[in-house]
Structure 1
Amino acid sequence: MSPVSKAAVLLLCCVPLTLHGQTTAKQAVHPATCSLSPADAALARNALESYNKGDLEQAKPQLIKLAQTYPCQTELQAAAGMALADSGDNAGALPFLEHAHTQNRNDAAIAFNLGVAVMKSGNTKRAEEIFSNLVKRAPAKPDYHLALAEVQMQREEFAAAAASFEKANAALRAVNAPVSLDMRIDWATALLKNGQPAKAKDLLADPEPLKSAPAQEILAESEEKAGNYTEAVKHFQLAAQLDPSESMIFGFGNEMLQHWSFGSAIDIFKYGVSKYPSSELLQMGLGIAYFGNHSYDLAAQPFQSVLQRSPQNATAAELLGRSCEVASSASVAGCDTLQAFADAHPENAMASLYAASSILHQATDTRDTARAESLLQHSLKADPRLADAWYELGVLQHSRNQWDESAASLEHAVELRPAFPEAHYRLSRAYARLGKGDKAQAEIALQQKYAQQTKDENNRRMQEVITFLTAKN
């Protein structure tokens, strides 16, 4: 759920504009007259009537012209501002609304509409000040509390937002007005983000949320925060069934990834990709699910698909590289895409490393070792402290019986990453070939010492890619 209150947004855009009050306050923008000519008074009535009927195209140019001609007319200033705001031009609306508010600070409707425009323009601090003042002036108005809650959600002031929603609820109950499900969902979101999952769950405990995908998503997140993972999965599944949108399917699949239920995640993301084949997020999810399930050959294909659509996507390139690095097949479809990415991004050390690694995983009689070595050199030029690149270079030199060179490269690798069992093992073999038996034995001991840490490191890397996917959402 977004931290922006959807219920409040719907409410604000539907509040009827109450424009009233005229003033003769002095104004320096135009020379002036504060009295409308009979002809302009008729035009103003027609323009306001058109606006109230929703004929924005007819009303807006007339209201703007009249407001510019009669700067002392508060009603016209406010109406022109609202017409511009309704058309999406908040920047154009603000000067008119500001001027109207300056002329009549006691007009709550003008202040409210100014607050909405200010909030939409991105100045949430000032919007919060405007709505806070309105709440103090009229604490029984639920609209004001909801507007304040929305801006507090935007500012990630979740405790304050939850309190504002509670006051809006009380104001609505006081006049026997219904509390919409949208408002309860937003209120529950504030509570959830404020670390109160039990209260969020209680808000959505009646039967109505059973038919709402957003409500089910909040219930799922509430159960998850409370540690009730089985219940969380049920709610995520129901949310995806009620609304099989890209985001909902992703949420369900991502929940499976969080608990390393990779088989279930594969099924969910496969369905999502079949429904939304151009979704890079779902493709990434599918690739990560395959990767977590140790189906590395299959993992490469979704990552390749993303990289083909977005050639600048460094994360997709890295995940493709990780898949190709550990794939069982000598030639996995999609791994050749890495080389093109590495050529286009020589500054990306990991891309060059993975491209080289994919070549070195090919059959001995077909792999282009010169190309692989060139890519490794590019990788080390971009990042001389990349232990994996030194390791791969050492292994390549090992295959050529270049024992001195291999030992030197592998020494760099273990110096940069002492807990590197594969590098210690390869280095022990290089030392043995060079007649350095004592050093070879010492490296074998280090290889055995760090073997368990490698398993832990692989688990950490798996968690990294899952965390990446969650962050993207």
Structure 2
Amino acid sequence: MVKRLLIAGIIMLLISLPCGIAKEVTSSGDRYFDDGRLDEAIREYEKLLGKNKKQPEIYFKLGNAYCKKGNLEKALEAFNLATQFKPDYADAYQRLSEVSMQIGVPEDELRVCLKKVQKDPNNADSHLQLGLIYYKRNLFDEARREYETAIGLDPRKAEAYFNLGVLYQDFNTHDKAAEMYKKAIEVSPNYDKAHFNLGISYYQMGRVEEAVSAYKRVIEINPKYAEAYVNLGIACFVKGLYSDALEALKKALSQCSNIAKIHYYLGNVYHKMHKTDEAIVEYKKAVEFNPRLVAPHFNLGVIYLKEKMVDQAIKEFTNVIVLDHDYADAYQKRSKAYELKGDRVNAQSDYNSYQHAKSAFARIYKEENVSSYYEGSSPDK
């Protein structure tokens, strides 16, 4: 508990802390503290916090009272809260550090890295590492600041450009992400990860042909980059280059760990090529490797429904609904299957469920869209 509280406070520490001290908040608790009447002082400070919890100076004084009383864990908690409500509270950070050393709480990686940066603020690698730590803790503004600082100190720092690109990509700013990946590649032309992520950015921006080129470049640099073959196959599929898509996806099968996903995409390609038997084989393999995948079950149902194989279609759409009971299209398709079977009661029931799911969740998935691949939610038990 103490370690967790310490970490929660430390992650808000900024590189440069202002020297100013917050204006004193006086109360009867201060007089009790000066007189050595610590229990009364603690009660008074806690009364003030009961009225308004966002008072960092009171938490600081409470921490000092607990510290003087010998209750270091409570002191640590109070100093931590002071820094949470006032992230630039230098005195609170100092006391937090002192108390943590007294009770033997180990320093976390953020504090260690902060010390390195403070000791040598012109070290680009230290800022890059600090940015990575901030990123892992979802402190994205701080991470961006550190990556940019690293680049300012060393414009040849390819990894800093790459990580900044990842940050932009996380927020769907794909044009800026692509710009950063290209800068990383300028510095390090054979940076395979940068080429790969550049391909993703191009794909997300609808620049599919450029995405294909990026993935091909990845494979030139690193022929064992399995996900590059997968994404190349998907991009070729979108462009209508079905033979190229099959070739890339089949190469991925021997290298990629997510075999189920690749069989699903192969099924999509065959389905689009009107090779129904081959598509069925691939979709079945996908659910064989991972029965929780929704999309291949759905696409199998679509094929069976089209072929008037009603019972098989109902089975597959039922699998979809078990995995994701809000999947509106599955109800609609199963309704049609029941209608073909002459079961009007279940057909009407499923149609009602379709209307409800459609209006409540607006989750209508396209049967053959590669982006519809996902793992379903856990079935109800």
Structure 2 equivalent of residue 98 of structure 1:
148
1:201 is aligned with what amino acid? L
Provide Cα deviations, 1:229-278, integer angstroms capped at 9, x if missing partner: 222222122212222123332232234446665443212123444x4373
Q: Does residue 138 in structure 1 map to residue 188 in structure 2?
A: yes
Cα distance in 2 for residues equivalent to 1:75 and 1:209: 33
Structure 1 equivalent of residue 13 of structure 2:
none
Instruction: Call closer, same or farther: CA 1:62–1:314 in 2, change over 3 Å.
Output: closer
Contact 1:124 1:154 in 2 (8 A): yes
Secondary structure of the 1:205 match is helix
> Considering only aligned residues, what root-mean-square deviation do their CA atoms show, in Å?
3.8
Provide Cα deviations, 1:100-141, integer angstroms capped at 9, x if missing partner: 212221111222222222222322101111212332443333
Structure 1 equivalent of residue 60 of structure 2:
none
Cα distance in 1 for residues equivalent to 2:166 and 2:347: 47
Q: Residue 157 of structure 1 is aligned with which of 181, 202, 207?
A: 207
Percent same amino acid at aligned positions?
16
Unpaired runs of at least 5, structure 1: 1-28, 32-55, 317-464
Cα distance in 1 for residues equivalent to 2:261 and 2:361: 32
Q: Does residue 184 in structure 1 map to residue 229 in structure 2?
A: yes
Instruction: Call closer, same or farther: CA 1:298–1:158 in 2, change over 3 Å.
Output: same
Q: Residue 277 of structure 2 is aligned with which of 227, 230, 255?
A: 230
Structure 2 equivalent of residue 215 of structure 1:
262
Cα distance in 1 for residues equivalent to 2:276 and 2:194: 37
Contact 1:254 1:470 in 2 (8 A): no
Secondary structure of the 1:233 match is helix
Instruction: Call closer, same or farther: CA 1:186–1:125 in 2, change over 3 Å.
Output: same
Structure 2 equivalent of residue 356 of structure 1:
none
2:279 is aligned with what amino acid? A
Instruction: Call closer, same or farther: CA 1:161–1:293 in 2, change over 3 Å.
Output: farther
Q: Residue 198 of structure 1 is aligned with which of 239, 243, 250?
A: 243
Moved more, 83-92 or 202-211: 202-211
Contact 1:30 1:69 in 2 (8 A): no
Cα distance in 1 for residues equivalent to 2:243 and 2:198: 24
2:241 is aligned with what amino acid? Q
Contact 2:110 2:130 in 1 (8 A): yes
Contact 1:240 1:252 in 2 (8 A): no
Q: Residue 116 of structure 1 is aligned with which of 166, 174, 178?
A: 166
Instruction: Call closer, same or farther: CA 1:84–1:133 in 2, change over 3 Å.
Output: same
Structure 2 equivalent of residue 419 of structure 1:
none
Unpaired runs of at least 5, structure 2: 1-15, 19-105, 373-381
State the TM-score, normalized to the length of structure 2: 0.59
For the pair shown, the structure with the greater C-alpha radius of gyration is 1
Q: How does 1:381-460 map to 2 (within 5 A)?
A: none
Cα distance in 2 for residues equivalent to 1:298 and 1:57: 62
Structure 2 equivalent of residue 266 of structure 1:
314
Secondary structure of the 1:313 match is helix
Structure 2 equivalent of residue 276 of structure 1:
323
Q: 1:300, CA displacement in angstroms?
A: 2.3
Contact 1:101 1:114 in 2 (8 A): no
